[in-house]
Amino acid sequence: MPAKKDVDAIIDPKGSLEILSHQEIARLTDTSSSGLHELFRQCALAVLNTGSKLDDSREVLERYKEFQISILQQDWGIKLDLKQAPSNAFVEGEVIMGIGEHLFAVLRDIVFFNNEIERLVKHSGDKDAISNLVFHILRNAKVLKSSSKPDLIVCWGGHSIGRVEYKYTKDVGYELGLRGLNVCTGCGPGAMKGPMKGATIAHAKQRIKDGHYIGMTEPGIIAAESPNAIVNRLVIMPDIEKRLEGFVRLANGIIVFPGGAGTAEEILYILGVLLNPENKGMPFPLIFTGPKESEDYFSQIHRFIGDTLGFEAQQLYKIIIGDAKTVARTMKKGLESVYQYRKEKGDAFYYNWLLDIAPEFQEPFEPTHENMSELKLSLELPKHELAANLRRAFSGIVAGNVKDDGIRAIEAHGVFEIHGEENIMNPLDELLKAFVAQDRMKLPDENGYKPCYKIIK
């Protein structure tokens, strides 16, 4: 237990949201199951817990179960009243400015997407309505940067990586920053922090004062992956599917570093989207990279993709090992094709409207035991549909590893069972065993990793 976690404080607005309607305040303070208070409390706690070494949502919530947050309505606006907040978020009794900004970003996004989702329900099954919702959340968060050229690179990778891999992510971020490129990640530690850290140093050297370091998360994962200190644009998406769509709509290119189940989920998402026949021929730079020590990891990922999604999927990305400069140069060159394509098609650089994202990549997947066991994993499926179901399988594993609801479901009903054809289950089993052996599933602890799933062939 930490020595001190009982800071009480009143926080002034930090530029994201200063006024609320009476109805919005009522929802945020409603502690019933239909209210937003617990969602707001959990996300706020995650922000205040920045720098934590925990990646178990339930453990975070238990450790700070006495933490409370409430809204103080003033004549001119609002303040946040914190009780028994984590002390590491404060210096001399004052909240760290970046953390204060992130607190109000949480408030801004929860209020906004709650209002928007009510309207979205009327358009259930409408993929354009969902894409518009994602756009409106990002615009409201002020992360859509009008630019004369494509310059935003999304970086994916694991929160549980070693020092050598972490240093390499910084090296790549540095090379991207030297070339004037901005970075968006999942906002947490490890491969989500390294590229931002490298880019900030490079931007300082290039005297770039308006660098974007966008962190995009969702309520289910934020407690396990608290925002790192470099994020200067935090966005909370309603669920993992809208978070993933946000990444690929924002991205002018994507770089994937080593990771575990969450990174595999991201890889399968983008490959499934790009395998959709509607997106054939659309330039989308996609690079898998890591230091020399990660070569076997990417060989296994490449083999898994070939065994399940085939040669066509393998042609959608490049693997570059141990060469940060070549990664940045290759990405910069790829952005030239993006620029020409979007200019010809009249599409924006800051949001990829032309990308067709099918409903199976947008509809929220609830990783219950029944849903996990009923996933269809067959080579008879069209490749983009198989990718969607494999993505859901990994999403369930992530939930069982680090999300509060998933952990409790595993404790109550046992491990998830994943069924499928042997020629898919064998590569999947091998990949997951490698993740476990390499400590990529969770941050290592003295008890070791206990799988939350069982592969059934």
- For the chain, the domains span 7-124, 143-457
Q: What is the pLDDT of residues 170-196, one digit of tens each?
A: 999 999 999 999 999 999 889 999 999
User: Residue 253 forms beta bridges with which residues?
Assistant: 153
Cβ contact 129:231 at 8 Å: no
Residues 442 and 457: their CA atoms lie apart, in Å, by 25
* DSSP-based three-state secondary structure for 125: coil
Report which listed range, 46-60, 235-249, 435-449, is most confident.
235-249
**Length of the chain as a residue count:** 457
| Third-level CATH fold of 143-457 | Rossmann fold (3.40.50)
Q: Please give the single-letter amino acid code of residue 136.
A: H
| pLDDT band, very low/low/confident/very high, at 444 (cuts 50, 70, 90) | low
Averaged pLDDT, 382-396: 97
| Cα–chain center distance at 352 | 18
28 burial (CB, 10 Å; 0-12 / 13-18 / 19+) is buried
Q: What is the pLDDT of residues 243-272, one digit of tens each?
A: 999 999 999 999 999 999 999 999 999 999
Residues 174 and 209: their CA atoms lie apart, in Å, by 15
Q: What is the pLDDT of residues 101-116, one digit of tens each?
A: 999 899 889 988 887 7
Q: What DSSP letter does each residue of 144-191 carry, written as one string?
A: ----SS--EEEEE--SS--HHHHHHHHHHHHHHHHTT-EEEE-SSSGG
pLDDT higher than threshold 80 for residue 76? no
Q: What is the pLDDT of residues 79-105, one digit of tens each?
A: 889 999 988 889 988 899 999 999 989
Indicate the range of 29-33, 207-211, 275-279, 400-404 predicted with least confidence.
Answer: 29-33
Element holding 80 (H helix, E strand): strand 78-85
Element holding 416 (H helix, E strand): strand 416-419
Q: Please give the single-letter amino acid code of residue 378.
A: S
* DSSP-based three-state secondary structure for 73: strand
Of 235, 193, 222, 236, nearest to 398 by C-alpha is 222
Averaged pLDDT, 346-374: 94
Residues 65 and 68: their CA atoms lie apart, in Å, by 8
pLDDT higher than threshold 70 for residue 214? yes
Residue 16 has what pLDDT? 58
Predicted model pTM: 0.92
* Residue labelled with tokens 């409790």: 408
Indicate the range of 58-62, 209-213, 351-355 predicted with least confidence.
Answer: 58-62
Indicate the range of 58-62, 149-153, 182-186, 238-242 predicted with least confidence.
Answer: 58-62
Summary mean pLDDT of the chain? 90
Angle between helices 240-250 and 261-275 (to 10 degrees): 60
Residue 51 has what pLDDT? 72
The reply to whether 143-457 shares the fold of 7-124 is no
pLDDT higher than threshold 70 for residue 422? yes
Indicate the range of 117-126, 246-255, 356-365 predicted with least confidence.
Answer: 117-126
Q: Please give the single-letter amino acid code of residue 261.
A: A
Residue 2 has what pLDDT? 44
Residues 160 and 29: their CA atoms lie apart, in Å, by 35
* Residue labelled with tokens 């509607």: 278
Residue 120 has what pLDDT? 65
User: Residue 81 forms beta bridges with which residues?
Assistant: 10, 70
399 burial (CB, 10 Å; 0-12 / 13-18 / 19+) is buried
Residue 34 has what pLDDT? 67
Percent of the chain whose predicted confidence (pLDDT) is above 90: 66
pLDDT higher than threshold 70 for residue 15? no
Residue 1 has what pLDDT? 41
| pLDDT band, very low/low/confident/very high, at 59 (cuts 50, 70, 90) | confident
- Token pair of 313 as six digits: 């999927």
Q: What is the pLDDT of residues 305-352, one digit of tens each?
A: 999 999 999 999 999 999 999 999 999 999 999 999 999 999 999 999
| pLDDT band, very low/low/confident/very high, at 158 (cuts 50, 70, 90) | very high
Residue 56 has what pLDDT? 65
Superfamily of segment(s) 7-124: MoCo carrier protein-like (3.30.1850.10)
Q: How far apart are the first and last CA of the chain?
A: 42
